[in-house]
Amino acid sequence: MKANFYIESEHFCLAFDKYVIEEINGKKYVLPEKGAKSHNSTFSNWIDRYLIDILNIGKKVYYQEKVEDIEILDYVQSYGLFGFMADFPVNRYYILDDVVALRDYNLIEYEDHITNIQLEEYLKLFMPKLDNNKIKLLIQKCRKEISPKIMEKYLTPELNELLIFSKNYGEPVDMILQYSKILYEHLIHFAEKRHLRSYSPLIAVNNLHTNIDTLHNNEIGLIYGYLKQAIDLNFLVNLSQDTVMLKTCKFCHKAFIPKNSKAEYDTPQCKNKANVYSFRKRAQEE
Ligand SMILES: [Zn+2]
């Protein structure tokens, strides 16, 4: 079965113009800088860049090369934070529940089964600067937003604005690195075996909205509401093409999407270097 669909962003994806990396409670976090301004972020302007760039951070983690803070900051300044807090819960409207049930391998517990965490504790993991009182107030505010009659399609964007797109929301650097590494590992595994690793729930797209109003054109819309969703979706769509264009350079191992499906190197420089190495190797063998 072949189907037509298109991918677009929710109208409410926000990013800030400046982020910092700070150590809080012994953990390194990326957060919006104090006084930073938020703006709409539609990743579609960058086509596949947000996917390639995170894969190449993952490539460094995978090969145990050092990832500098500035590389993380450059990434989030371009595309915003990932939205892990909205992505991990199995209960999509977790803010309504006292306990958050987290999907498998959620980068907090790394268990291959659903794990539970108290809501307050969960929010504090991603809003490390808020004290207990402020967390309580935030929960009350979110629940109040929900209580009047609101169409469900507006609910997630409204809640996201108070949660993953708020100025208090941050993500642990280590979590970003782990996620990027997992994506890259999947890519090289796929390149070798033509299938994903046997159990890959973390990169399955979670909580996706669909637009069926456009079905009269024989197509449905897949609407992502935060960056991780967009990355996961784009990644899987790239791997499900008849000809998979997303690949890694045979010389430097970076991820890239060439124009020509036969290309093996991401840059002419890598191609030249690979030729020089193979020439030397042959010369040595003779
Ligand atoms: Zn290369």
Measured in Å, residue 75 CA sits from the centre of ligand 1 at 20
Q: Are 221 and 5 in contact (CB under 8 A)?
A: yes
Measured in Å, residue 249 CA sits from the centre of ligand 1 at 5
Measured in Å, residue 128 CA sits from the centre of ligand 1 at 38
Distance, CA of 270 to CA of 125 (rounded, Å)? 41
Measured in Å, residue 285 CA sits from the centre of ligand 1 at 25
Entry pTM: 0.92
Measured in Å, residue 270 CA sits from the centre of ligand 1 at 5
Measured in Å, residue 274 CA sits from the centre of ligand 1 at 9
Measured in Å, residue 114 CA sits from the centre of ligand 1 at 39
Distance, CA of 32 to CA of 1 (rounded, Å)? 44
Residue count (the chain): 286
CA-based max dimension of the chain: 80
The per-residue pLDDT for 43 is 66
Measured in Å, residue 59 CA sits from the centre of ligand 1 at 12
Measured in Å, residue 267 CA sits from the centre of ligand 1 at 6
The per-residue pLDDT for 218 is 84
Measured in Å, residue 253 CA sits from the centre of ligand 1 at 6
Measured in Å, residue 271 CA sits from the centre of ligand 1 at 7
Q: What is the DSSP letter of 206?
A: P
Q: Are 51 and 102 in contact (CB under 8 A)?
A: no
Measured in Å, residue 255 CA sits from the centre of ligand 1 at 8
286 residues of the chain, pLDDT tens digit each: 777 888 877 767 888 999 999 999 899 999 999 999 998 877 665 668 899 999 999 999 999 999 999 999 999 998 999 999 999 999 989 999 999 999 988 888 878 888 999 999 999 999 999 999 999 999 999 998 777 677 877 888 889 999 999 999 999 999 999 999 999 999 999 888 877 776 778 888 888 888 888 777 888 888 888 999 999 999 998 998 888 899 999 999 999 999 998 999 999 999 999 988 888 888 887 7
Measured in Å, residue 159 CA sits from the centre of ligand 1 at 41
- Write the secondary structure of 95-150 as one string of H (helix), E (strand) and C (coil): HHCCEEEECCCCCCCCCCCCEEEEHHHHHHHHCCCCCHHHHHHHHHHHHHHHCCCC
Residue tagged 């760039």 (tokens): 53
The per-residue pLDDT for 195 is 77
Measured in Å, residue 176 CA sits from the centre of ligand 1 at 23
Residue tagged 């892990």 (tokens): 84
Shortest CA distance to 87 belongs to which of 99, 74, 100, 97? 100
Q: Are 77 and 19 in contact (CB under 8 A)?
A: yes
Q: Any bridge partners for residue 39, and if so which?
A: 15
Measured in Å, residue 250 CA sits from the centre of ligand 1 at 7
Q: List the chain domain ranges.
A: 5-248
Q: Are 247 and 260 in contact (CB under 8 A)?
A: no
Measured in Å, residue 222 CA sits from the centre of ligand 1 at 32
Q: For the chain, how are helix, strand and coil distributed in percent, rounded to 5?
A: 45, 15, 40
CA 169 to chain centre: 15
Measured in Å, residue 254 CA sits from the centre of ligand 1 at 6
Measured in Å, residue 121 CA sits from the centre of ligand 1 at 43
The per-residue pLDDT for 121 is 96
Measured in Å, residue 71 CA sits from the centre of ligand 1 at 18
Measured in Å, residue 37 CA sits from the centre of ligand 1 at 36
Shortest CA distance to 157 belongs to which of 220, 96, 226, 211? 226
Measured in Å, residue 198 CA sits from the centre of ligand 1 at 28
